[in-house]
Amino acid sequence: MDKVLNQLVYFGFLQAIFLICIFLFSGKMRRMVNPYLGILVVALFVGLSGRVIYLSGFVGQSYRIVSISEIATLCFGASVFLFTRSSLYRQPFARKDLVHYLPAVCYFIILTIYYLLPSSEVINARIKSGEFGRAVLLFAGIGLSFNIYYYVRSFFEFKRFQQYMKQEVSYSIPTRFFSYFLIAIGLCFLPWLAVWILNLTGFDKLERIVRPYIWIALAFIIFFIAWYSIIAPEVFKIAPMEVVKKYAQSKLSRKDLDHLKSQLEQLMENKKPFLNKKLLKNELAEMLGISNPELARLLNERIGMNFFEYINYHRIMEFVELAKTERAKEFTFFGLAQEAGFNSKSTFNKSFKKLMGASPSDYFKTNI
């Protein structure tokens, strides 16, 4: 079993080298790929390199040189967060973001002073007294906490993005990659957390069994990134949204809002802008001759829906009307939904059930 695990580590290490070479020497990939993804791949490479060097036997049983690779552990979580945030919101690389890597620099300085520079006699004395074990446990816990903190931030950033997009667009944004990516990162932390808890509670034998799976988890992240780099490289530049103009705060009176509500209802009935599968909130605001925040206020205060819900409500009403016509016999349910403006089957089914209280098939069995 150990041989299989070690081979997976070697393969992940080679995959990391392959990706780094592509990012460095392919001008097209270098322009397309998020810089923070490159930092993440380098961090994974450095982390795996310690294990590979140890397995190769180049340094014998000494962990001195191998321990340098542990600096990657404090770059990992920060890189995941920065990659997630910058990809979703299309934020370019910024030097100020490098502050997130300061803990990794501090960790490396402490590691050098405490472990790399002292003589073997000093290190052995610390090990015998138990001081070294406590220090390792402390710093491993700090590193784990640091990474979990950034992972949680990444998760909430992703959820915030999804809520934000519902305020601005009327269609489903393909975010499946980031869902899988964050799940994969979360699974990566499990063996790391297990090893730390087992160390803390004194289950040394079990800890040695679980520890290799930390490296397997790192290799798995490399496989995941390499796989998506091949089959769907466009996912690394997600967030196909337009920049929304900033306007002054809305100064509309209640009477103005009531009047705009009537205008909006007439617009939706006469011009049916919801049939545009890629309709944006700022586009609808321009049709009404108002600003983006004013439309948001109108929807929230007079209609009680966000933009995503409001547009999909009208699409469902259009779908119901289309389903009653003779033309409906030529289409499947999703075909009709596309005619009504939907671009995603899952969004259509979820929106329909939320509004009508039943799936499309169950609804029409009862009503038509």
Asked whether the beta carbons of 9 and 51 are under 8 A apart, the reply is yes
Q: Which of 253, 267, 341 is nearest to 302 (CA)?
A: 253
The pLDDT, as a whole number, for residue 38 is 86
The pLDDT, as a whole number, for residue 316 is 94
The pLDDT, as a whole number, for residue 223 is 86
The pLDDT, as a whole number, for residue 47 is 85
The pLDDT, as a whole number, for residue 61 is 55
Low-confidence ranges of the chain (pLDDT < 70): 1, 27-32, 58-66, 230-250, 367-368
User: What domains can you pick out in the chain, each with its CATH number?
Assistant: 2-237 (1.20.1070.10), 254-367 (1.10.10.60)
Burial level of 186, CB count in 10 A (0-12/13-18/19+)?
Answer: middle
12-15 contacts, C-beta under 8 A, 24 or more apart: 12/44, 12/48, 12/215, 12/216, 12/218, 12/219, 12/220, 12/222, 12/223, 13/45, 13/48, 13/49, 13/51, 13/52, 13/219, 13/222, 15/219, 15/222, 15/223, 15/226
The pLDDT, as a whole number, for residue 249 is 52
- Chain segment 329-367, per-residue pLDDT in tens: 888 888 999 999 998 888 899 899 988 888 888 887 776
Helix count (H) and strand count (E) of the chain?
17, 0
Burial level of 222, CB count in 10 A (0-12/13-18/19+)?
Answer: buried
Q: 363 vs 6, 138, 339, 366, CA distance in Å?
A: 55, 59, 19, 5
The pLDDT, as a whole number, for residue 59 is 61
Please spell the DSSP secondary structure of 234-296, one letter per residue. GGGG----PPPPP-PPP---HHHHHHHHHHHHHHHHHT-GGGSTT-BHHHHHHHHTS-HHHHH
- Measured on CA atoms in the order 193, 196, 198, 201, is the torsion positive or negative? negative
- Chain segment 248-284, per-residue pLDDT in tens: 455 778 888 889 999 999 999 999 999 999 899 989 9
The pLDDT, as a whole number, for residue 236 is 58
Identify the residue whose tokens are 């009503």.
367
φ and ψ at 276, to 5 degrees? Answer: -75, 110
The pLDDT, as a whole number, for residue 261 is 92
φ and ψ at 107, to 5 degrees? Answer: -60, -45
The pLDDT, as a whole number, for residue 63 is 67
Buried b (16+ CB within 10 A) or exposed e, 248-284: eebebeeeebeebeeebeeebeeeebbeeeebbbbeb
Tokens of 327: 């033309």
Identify the residue whose tokens are 């490396």.
108
Cα Rg, the chain, nearest whole Å: 27
The pLDDT, as a whole number, for residue 263 is 93
The pLDDT, as a whole number, for residue 329 is 81
The pLDDT, as a whole number, for residue 206 is 87
